[in-house]
Amino acid sequence: MENLDVMVLRSLRDWRLAGKRALLATVIRTWGSSPRPVGSIMALCETGAVVGSVSGGCIEDDLIHQFTQAYQQAVAAHSSNAKIPSGPPQHIKYGISADEAHRFGLPCGGTLELLLEFDPDLQLLEQLVMSLSKGMLMQRTTLIQSGAVTLTPTDTPCELIIDDQQLVNTFGPEYRMLLIGAGQLTEYLATMALFNGFAVTVCDPREEYTGAWSVPHVTLTKEMPDDVVLSFHPDRRSCVIALTHDPKLDDLALLEALKSESFYIGAIGSRRNNEARRQRMIEHFEQTQASLAPLRGPIGIYIGSKTPAEIAVSIMAEVLAVKNGVPLPKDMDVAHAKNIQQRQHNTTDESVCFVKKT
C-alpha cells in the first residue's frame, strides 16, 4: 500500500488534472488531545471525494458539507456556479468550545487548527508526486498571504514549520522494510507493513520458500541477503529484519545493516539464540557490545503471541513504536511478563481444579 501522504497528493493531482476544483487541508496546530498529529493532510474534491484524514471523521464530514454542498446543489440544478472558494489559504479551528469538541468527536479539551489551500497548482503537484515516487525527500513551502508554493529537495526530515508568513511541510520518501526470509511469518509481517505505508522488499535465496510467495506489491529477490542489504542502501527511514533462523543468511545481512542508519535492525529468535548470535559476531566478525547495541532481539513487544500472525503483530507494533519515538521496555520486561502470565495461568488452573473438586 502506498504511503498515505503520497496517496493524498497523487489523488489531489489527478483531480486537478481532470479539471476539478479541490482543496488541501493540513493540520498545523493542536492543543490538548488530537486525533491526528501536526502535519497530517487531507485532500477534498468538489465532488465530495476525500483522501487522507485530519480527524476521526467528523471534521472531514463538516469540510465536505461546507465546501461541496454547493456543488451537489449545482449538479441537481444543472448549474455550474458551485465552487470551492478561490484565493489565499484560510485558517480554520475546531474544538474551541466543549460543545464543538463534542460535536466534532474530538477528545475532551482537544482543539486543532487547519490550513486550507484552494486549487493547488497542478504543475507543482505533478513535480512533487514525481519527486516522491523517485524516493526524494521534499520540502513544500506555502506562503500564507498569497498561497504561492515552492518545492525544495532536502536531506533532512523535519517537523512541520508554521508562522505568520509560511507553512513548511516535509514529504517522503516512503518508509522501507527489508525482510530476510520468505516464510509464513514474513507473509504476515509484509502484509501489515504494506498497510502501514511501508515499501517492502523480501529477500530469500531458498527456492523452496520464494516459490510459494503470494503477497502482492512486495519486491521479491533471490540474491544473497548481505548483497541485497548493500543494494538496498538502508537509511533513517529503513528497517531491516532477519527472519530465517539461519546464521548463514541472517548474520551477514545484519552486519551490513549495522553499518547503516536504519532506525530498526532486528532478528527473530529466543533470548538464547540472540545471545549466541552476538557472541558469533564478536568472535568472528570483530564486533563489540557497543557496535551491536542497535541490534534488537528478541524482537517484538511481548503480547503472549504464539501463532505467526500474532508474532507479526508484536514485531510490527515494536517497529512502529521505534519509528514514532515511543520508549519501549527493556528485555527484562519480556521475562517479567512471561512470569506474570505463567503465575496467572497457574492460579486460574488451581481455581478450576478447586471448583471441580467441590
pLDDT tens, residue by residue, 120-141: 999 999 999 999 877 788 999 9
- Tell me: do 205 and 94 sit in the same domain: no
Are 31 and 65 spatial neighbours (Cβ–Cβ below 8 Å)?
A: no
- Tell me: do 192 and 268 sit in the same domain: yes
Q: Tell whether 212 is covered by a domain.
A: yes
Which phi-psi region, left, alpha or beta, contains residue 286 (left: φ > 0; alpha: ψ -120 to 50)? left
Place of cell 497548482: 121
Are 89 and 115 spatial neighbours (Cβ–Cβ below 8 Å)?
A: yes
Sign, CA dihedral 96-98-102-107, equals positive
Q: Tell whether 181 is covered by a domain.
A: yes
Q: How many domains does the chain have?
A: 2
Residue 325 grid coordinates: 519515538
Mean pLDDT value across residues 5-26? 95
Lowest mean pLDDT among 20-34, 58-72, 247-261, 296-310: 58-72
Last residue of a domain, one of 129, 160, 193: 129
Q: Tell whether 234 is covered by a domain.
A: yes
pTM: 0.68
Domain that holds residue 55: 4-129
Mean pLDDT of the chain: 85
Q: Tell whether 91 is covered by a domain.
A: yes
- Tell me: do 229 and 90 sit in the same domain: no
Digit-coded pLDDT (tens) for 307-356 = 999 999 999 999 999 998 888 775 445 555 556 556 655 654 554 444 44
β 175-180/238-242 pair status = parallel
Q: Tell whether 16 is covered by a domain.
A: yes
Q: Tell whether 152 is covered by a domain.
A: no
Q: Which is more confidently placed, 100 or 331?
A: 100
**pLDDT band at residue 357, thresholds of 50, 70 and 90?**
very low
pLDDT for 347: 58
